Chains A and B, each alone.
Chain A
Amino acid sequence: MNFNVLRRSIADKRLSILVYAVGVAAYAVMILAIWPSLRENVSTLNQMWESYPEGIRKAFGGENFTFATFDGFLSVEYFNQMWVIVMTAFSVSIATGAISSEIEKGTMELLLAQPVSRRSLLLTRHLFFELGLLFLIGATLIPIAIGAPVAGGDIDYMGLLAMVVPSFLFFTAIGSFTFFFSVLFNTRGTAIFVSLGIIIISYALDILAKINDTISNVHFLSIFYYWDPYRYLHNLDFAWVDLIILTIIALISTTAAVYRFERRDIAV
């Protein structure tokens, strides 16, 4: 860990992280603002929801999902949609900016001409990414915790707190394999293209596996298989196996990134 690199990363990216934080917080507030008017029409919404094919319901809501509860509404309207998109964009942006962008711009040569090891540099940038993740998760959950009673939403605060763990591990896993591609390629564009490609294919596999039983046996190959916010918000039930798998993905990806970064040539 190199404090100088960490301090500089925070100084360089503080505005960008602040914009992300304002974005996720503002969207959370908007969702809260919609809830009171929607609550009046819960039965209509549920009827509409029940009229969808089972596959579609499984794909976008999950098991035992209902619009009747605030946490169900929050899961389907925020944590399974816009929030995943914004947090994925943040993860890919920070991870590709950490290594491949510096190689592409040539500043990596300046950085590695200083007494900082490649391992230390990568792990420091990874730590910075994780601190950023925690900040954004906080910027999302704190407005919800404060605003839910005002909006008349019935929320389990322990469930909301529990959301920190799967959220952190899920996006750490996404960020970690993006770090690997960031180390692998010389240009940020290629790293983004490959990482986002895998994420989009993974998302598509998740949706298709929920709709189509014939491919449900490969559902576990999608990282989104391990992302079920409703489970945590509603039942406060930790899916330990899922969390361990996400941790393993993060650890293997980070180890592979360090291994590759320590052995690759740095050439503009």
Chain B
Amino acid sequence: MTEDTPNIICNDLTKYYGSTRGIEGLDLEVGHGEIFGFLGPNGAGKTTTIRMLMGMLKPTKGSATVLGKDAWHESTNIKMDVGHIPGDVRLYENMHVHDLIGYIDDFRPGPDPLRDELIERLDLDISKKVKSLSRGNRQKVAIVLAMMFDPEILILDEPTLGLDPLMQQEFYTILGEFRDRGHTVFLSSHILSEVERSCDRIGIVKDGRLVDVRAIEDFRQNKIRHMDVVFSERVETDEFDRLPQVLSVERLDSHMRITVKGDIDALIKLLSAHRVIDLTFTQPSLEDFFLSFYGQSGEKDEL
């Protein structure tokens, strides 16, 4: 495998469970030193794709290669350099956390360079039994198990489930450092803000098909958001309507709702000319996002 070869390649990757579609015709490449977000609603096919990358599921059609090796036929070799967090973390309930970490550690030769650092940064108590851990602490254990050996690739399925906001922030900082060392992250999520703040590129999957892949900057520039503003005096909607980024302005009871797409700098400058009492800038839900980008049918709209 050369430096130029993408770390993850999916070629017409398809999985059907009997007649039920998992994912269909997925073509995708993820390069070195990249955090790739795989975004889609529940049931879109994210977990199916990740399970095929991890060699848990056999593709119905097509193939996936990880680090230049076939994800199904050479799965064992790949896992020497791949860390994985499943969507539904299941651990050995009767083991102590330190024993579990030791057990997983022994599958690979040599010491784990990040083990102690991760335990400290995630504030994980390794003396406890797994069965006594909360949902969040189980997730921390899964993070340590997946990342402690500093793998070449991380394949993560909804990795922040159960983590509190502080720990989520710490986790994303760790992921950023991981990427800065030239490693690759493939991460699935159905939470738009999570993908937006951590990923370099996103792939959007809907109803078992990849509908778009774009750089996060491109995504940000085209994202539609709602801004609810309360002014101290009456302000006319026309001046906001004239801004090219503003799609619509509505007056609702005591406040004004401005729907804006992309760069918000001009809008903020215009707002600063008035006395603003309150301002909320809501992130769109995934459903809003799909509606704004792809319409009801899921077909990509012109941006």
- Interface-located stretch among B25-33, B74-82, B178-186, B292-300: B74-82
B93, closest chain A residue (CB): A105
A48 at the interface (CB under 8 A from B): no
A266 to B79, CA, bound (A): 16
A residues less than 8 Å from B76 (CB atoms) = 115-117, 120
A146 at the interface (CB under 8 A from B): no
Instruction: Select which of A8, A114, A120, A267 is within 8 A of B51 by beta carbon.
Output: A267
| Number of chain B residues whose Cβ lies closer than 8 Å to a Cβ of chain A | 26
B residues less than 8 Å from A265 (CB atoms) = 51, 56-58
A113, closest chain B residue (CB): B84
B100, closest chain A residue (CB): A110
Chain B interface mostly: loop
A107 at the interface (CB under 8 A from B): yes
A residues less than 8 Å from B106 (CB atoms) = 4
Interface string of B261-290 (1 = CB under 8 A from A): 000000000000000000000000000000
A residues less than 8 Å from B57 (CB atoms) = 265-267
A residues less than 8 Å from B58 (CB atoms) = 263, 265
A201 to B197, CA, bound (A): 61
- Contact between A112 and B56, CB atoms less than 8 A apart: yes
Chain A contact-residue range equals: 20 to 34
B residues less than 8 Å from A18 (CB atoms) = none
A213 at the interface (CB under 8 A from B): no
- Contact between A113 and B54, CB atoms less than 8 A apart: yes
- Contact between A116 and B86, CB atoms less than 8 A apart: no
Known: A265-B57, A266-B56. A116 touches B107 (CB 8 A): yes
B108 at the interface (CB under 8 A from A): yes
B123 at the interface (CB under 8 A from A): no
A112, closest chain B residue (CB): B56
- Contact between B88 and A106, CB atoms less than 8 A apart: yes
A residues less than 8 Å from B77 (CB atoms) = 115
A54 at the interface (CB under 8 A from B): no
B residues less than 8 Å from A268 (CB atoms) = 88, 90
Instruction: Select which of B55, B94, B108 is within 8 A of A112 by beta carbon.
Output: B55
Known: A112-B55, A117-B76. A107 touches B107 (CB 8 A): no
B residues less than 8 Å from A112 (CB atoms) = 54-56, 75
A154 to B56, CA, bound (A): 57
B residues less than 8 Å from A110 (CB atoms) = 86, 90-92, 104, 145
A266 to B54, CA, bound (A): 10
B77, closest chain A residue (CB): A115
Interface string of B38-59 (1 = CB under 8 A from A): 0000000000000100111110
* Residues of A near any B CB (own CB < 8 A): 4, 8, 12, 105-107, 109-110, 112-117, 120, 263, 265-268
